[in-house]
Amino acid sequence: MSKSTKYVSNPADENGIVSWTEEENKIWQDLIERQLEVIKGRACDEFMHGLELLDLPHNRVPQLHEINQVLGEHTGWQVEQVPSLINFDAFFTLLANKKFPVATFIRSRDDFDYLQEPDIFHEIFGHCPLLTNPAFAHFTHTYGKLGLAASKEDRAYLARLYWFTVEFGLLNTAEGTRIYGGGILSSPGETVYALESDNVIRQTMNPLEALRTPYRIDIMQPVYFTLNRFEQLFELADMDIMALVNTAKKLGLHAPKFAPKNQLAS
Ligand SMILES: [Fe+2]
């Protein structure tokens, strides 16, 4: 949700169908086929199971009603078409109503490997597989309800917990560390980096620590938090998260593990 973007959502017709150009469909195909290879052995089983349920098309951008049918059957979640940028009130209102916002634009080839704005590939490929999973669905719904009721200051803390779970979460499994965060799994570079880089900290998920850890949206993450079981998302959701936010506010933020933006070479 940056302040400006060159991208605009493609409109839907009266039946909710979005028209995509041949080039946009081709970009989807190139993105999904490349990423399906990269996530093999790297995405967690829960994510892979969700992908199977969604059975996403390869040769065209999926329509939202196709996603809704699968999500509705499994968790009651839906996706909702939004303009490219929405404010936090709109975002939390949607999540609190089990609606996941999806902007109907897709990245251009210039931004093929990375873009800050969440495009339809990020939202659908990155997030929708796990919206079929009850623990993830419950966590995301709870986050929406808390965010809707929270002050602007508290939302900034909540956003960190979301960042280190829904977007950039890792999971310990018997086979090794796996990824469940959609921000990682929709990025080929970060899918490899998050698991294999020696220059990152992978720490056991502790919600108070996550609430206190600053992040930047425009770099590969220097810190990831790892769950020990996927069902831990249920337990996290049912903790008194706002009490943890209050504790985090008293203790303050940790020093960032990255350079401030204006001190980096561009
Ligand atoms: Fe996201």
Distance 167 CA to ligand 1 centre (A): 6
pLDDT digits (tens, 9 = 90+) for 230-246: 999 999 999 999 999 99
| Residue 244 alpha carbon to ligand 1 centre in Å | 23
> In whole angstroms, what is the distance from residue 237 CA to residue 244 CA?
12
Distance 241 CA to ligand 1 centre (A): 21
Q: How far is the CA of 186 from the centre of ligand 1 (A)?
A: 9
Could you tell me the pLDDT band of residue 2, with boundaries at 50, 70 and 90?
very low
Is 124 in contact with 79 (CB distance < 8 Å)?
Answer: yes
Q: Are the C-beta atoms of residues 225 and 169 closer than 8 Å to each other? A: yes
Give distance in angstroms: CA of 130 to centre of ligand 1: 12
Handedness of CA 200, 201, 206, 209 (dihedral sign): negative
The 10s digit of each residue's pLDDT in 72-86 is 999 999 999 998 889
* Residue 124 Cα to ligand 1 middle (Å): 9
**Average pLDDT taken over every residue of the chain:** 94
User: Distance, CA 128 to ligand 1 centroid (Å)?
Assistant: 10
Residues 193 and 170: beta-carbon distance below 8 Å: no
Smallest CA-to-CA distance from 127 within 101, 90, 107 is with 101
pLDDT at residue number 262: 62
Q: Is residue 114 within 8 Å of residue 189, measured between CB atoms? A: yes
CA of 6 to the centre of ligand 1 (A): 18
For residue 128, give the 3-state DSSP assignment: coil
Distance of CA 98 from the midpoint of ligand 1 (Å): 15
Contact assessment for residue 117 and residue 5, using Cβ atoms and an 8 Å cutoff: yes
- Say if pTM beats, i.e. exceeds, 0.75: yes
Residue 41, H or E segment: none
Residue 118 C-alpha to ligand 1 middle, in angstroms? Answer: 6
Asked whether residue 250 carries a pLDDT value surpassing 50, the answer given is yes
Output the CA 42–ligand 1 centroid distance in Å.
18
**What is the Å distance from ligand 1's center to 3 Cα?**
16
Nearest Cα neighbor of 165 from 182, 185, 189, 144 is 182
CA of 137 to the centre of ligand 1 (A): 14
